[in-house]
Structure 1
């Protein structure tokens, strides 16, 4: 008699097939599409908000009595405020996303309005206050990254892909933000309320107001995490001994433990090597955003100060935008590479490419051969390389550590990003005054430190593709 003829008998291979199918579905799962689009679009809008003032901030600050270093602070300060904002937000978000989305939309509107009103009020520090308010909205950068690596809604083989989509949005914001900022400055709108300096603030405030309506109507939040009571339910000995399937080095924590004790138990199981990976990824993330932020803040100042360039905000905005938009097709191609190549190889390639751009820039500074073409080649290489690298850091960590650590690693990486952004923007604004050779030399040294850490931990950085 065949096994199929027995009504109450399970085929010995069926459970294996079902288990394999279930594992595949889990590894390739994706979140609700409308909600995913909202998070990606919000990431794009926040990038626009960050970059739209880059091309004209120096002129705006100068009109109100500030200098180039102050304009660098205005550009970079929001990310510092965003890092501080995560302290209360992560205490009350309950592991979910809708509340931070509402907070972000609200403060984006307030910040852009304050930035625009500073012209009429003729008050220099109001643009700084406005950017600080906008900085609260930038706290959502962390939630966008966490959403794309959240094990509740994203499979392990989809995280690098979604992180790369985030970088595509980042690149679009890097391109369109400075372009529109420079274009609005050139048009001028000779009006004390709506002009080249203030129009970016008014327009972005209106866009956020409309987008807030869409968030309220269409965003579907993730399921809430288990409560303490649910975590305290006893489980069978068989389940208690079962290891975490994706993290063989970290056993599953017994749900009978209280949350604080559970965290301490998980913490004790993180090895010295895993801590090394965490530090390495945080450093790489900080360096990437430090360099990107410093170049974005420095190019308008350096271009205006270089005699044979003599850029206006419109010229600087076009130059920055051209570098970003040229990177765009390569970042789309990177979406395909992310499914086939290991994260560590993509990170190594992006960082090496960015370093090549820095070394080329150092060379043209030393030889005095700075022109539009040579500077663009350096900017394109730096922008492409370090943008590619930023897609990897959090997705790699999310695959290395237990699912319960996703929120913590998201905060670690995002605080590294914020640190890089704010210090990079200040360094970029000060680049001409400290000397451009010193400016680029520091960036090369920071990449060198990351390279040492990266090569030391090369074997430990291996993860699943996708």
Structure 2
């Protein structure tokens, strides 16, 4: 059995223990930051994946039509990666050991494969290769969850730095949302004289090349979080002469000697499991309400953003006052998504972003009703929606990380990311079908969803207060 001395060492080294700290130590913990090069890589990875997601939006409808598809197929192709991202998180989180290097390599690999497959659909004249490429990209998009988890990981990020780092993630998200459609529109404008590299396929080839170069930088410069000491290492540190065969860190031989029973045989449950269950029982009803509220807003924001991104090229091409080409649609989406958020109290960011986004939806509803849709009025609505709901996404995870125990960071990251994925995939499909179901119905549903979120928000306003930063 593990002796008392070893347990004391474990308690001292465990980063989640409740040991007493001085005020200075608390301040250092509150403001700590990860390795700069690794942080930059995580933010750049988020940017490149956002560009990868959005670069096809401005031309995917035309690409699908060329290969025999329709607007709804285009919406599915835009949104389907998030479904595969959610599925891929199941094996990834099982084997990542709480680290980040392995998911980064997996993401780079599948992003390159996905872009190549998407580009080859034109040459092979195979519509469903577009879908296959986007599904492969979905595995790469699992990195979105790891980026959020990295920025709120209590092992490397202090509580007063989490909203700041989350803001940088949202800034890269906004840049990707702007740069992607713009580049896609520019690439479409290069023409179709070449069956390999043309307006439909060039986004795939270019992004595959960029990500291949970035993968080299990841391999060379990314530093993962140091693994905590194992039981054997701690025992050796406390007593160099201790027989290390008395402990089996990873289960060991099922037929261990009776004199040296395995660790799993000497204790019915790990202290971490018992601590987690104890903390779970202490979560109050209001805290469960905050968790549900943040998951709803995560889904809501990405549902609306995804639906507008998928709908604008289709609506812009169908409306008689606009008649957009993919190039014009890409520029328009880019203009609306160009702004990003600054730092303030989390619940105020959420309130301001929601109100701003809702105002864009309401204005658009009345514009549709009067039939006075033009470039200026539509841009005003899209700008409000893009800025408002991008702003709101800044705080969903950082707010939960400040209210719940550090051990919950992995679970809350997963909950928020699955909410994001749900909103992305359903929003893209809804956006692709917006013209066929009726644009009044399209925006009306989104207003109702925001109203439900407002009920959550106002009811839990006091419970949403956290530390700034």
CA contact (8 A) 1:231 1:257 kept: no
Q: Which residue among 315, 320, 325 is the counterpart of 2:333?
A: 320
Q: Is the 8 A contact 1:181 1:200 kept in 2?
A: yes
Which residue, 171, 175, 180 being the options, matches 1:172? Answer: 175
Counterparts of residues 57-206 of structure 1 (less than 5 Å): 57-206=60-209
Distance 1:308 1:396, change over 3 A: same
Deviation, structure 1 residue 229: 7.3
**C-alpha deviation, 1:230, in angstroms:** 8.7
- Counterpart in the other structure of 1:270: 283
Q: Which residue of 2 aligns with 1:286?
A: 299
1:251 paired residue number: none
Q: SS of the counterpart of 1:56?
A: helix
Provide Cα deviations, 1:155-204, integer angstroms capped at 9, x if missing partner: 00000010001111011101110000011001125211111000100111
Look up the SS of the partner of 2:321 in the other structure.
Answer: coil
C-alpha deviations, 1:355-413, integer Å up to 9, x for none?
00000000100011110000000000000000000000000000010000001100000
Matched, 1:465 2:457: no
Structure 2: distance between partners of 1:92 and 1:161: 29
1:397 aligns with 2:410: no
**Runs of 5+ unmatched residues, structure 1:** 1-17, 234-255
In 2, Cα distance between equivalents of 1:363 and 1:228: 65
Candidates 455, 459, 467, aligned match of 1:456: 459
Q: Tell me the CA shift for residue 266 of structure 1.
A: 2.3
Find the residue that maps to 1:87 and give its secondary structure: helix
Rounded Cα–Cα distance in structure 2 between residues aligned with 1:39 and 1:364: 40
- Aligned 1:432-443 pairs, distance under 5 A: 432-443=435-446
TM-score, normalization: structure 1?
0.88
Q: 1:231 to 1:156 in 2, by over 3 A?
A: farther
| 1:34-64 Cα shifts (integer Å, max 9, x gaps) | 0000000000000000000000000000001
Residues 1:384 and 2:387 aligned together? yes
TM alignment of 1:419-430, pairs within 5 A: 419-430=422-433
Task: Quickly say closer, same or farther: Cα 1:228–1:279, change in 2 above 3 A.
Answer: farther
* Cα gap change, 1:225 to 1:446, in 2 (>3 Å): farther
> 2-side partners of 1:259 and 1:150: how far apart?
17
Using the alignment, how far apart are the partners of 1:94 and 1:231 within structure 2? 19
Q: Find the counterpart in structure 2 of residue 218 from structure 1.
A: 221
- Note the C-alpha offset of 1:231: 11
The equivalent of 2:351 in structure 1 is 348
Return the offset for 1:260. 3.1
Gapped runs of 5+ residues in structure 2? Answer: 1-20, 237-268
Number of the residue aligned with 1:50: 53
TM-score (norm 2): 0.87
1:259 Cα deviation after fit: 3.6
How far the C-alpha of 1:20 sits from its partner, in A, is 1.5
For the aligned residue pairs, the C-alpha RMSD in angstroms reads 2.0
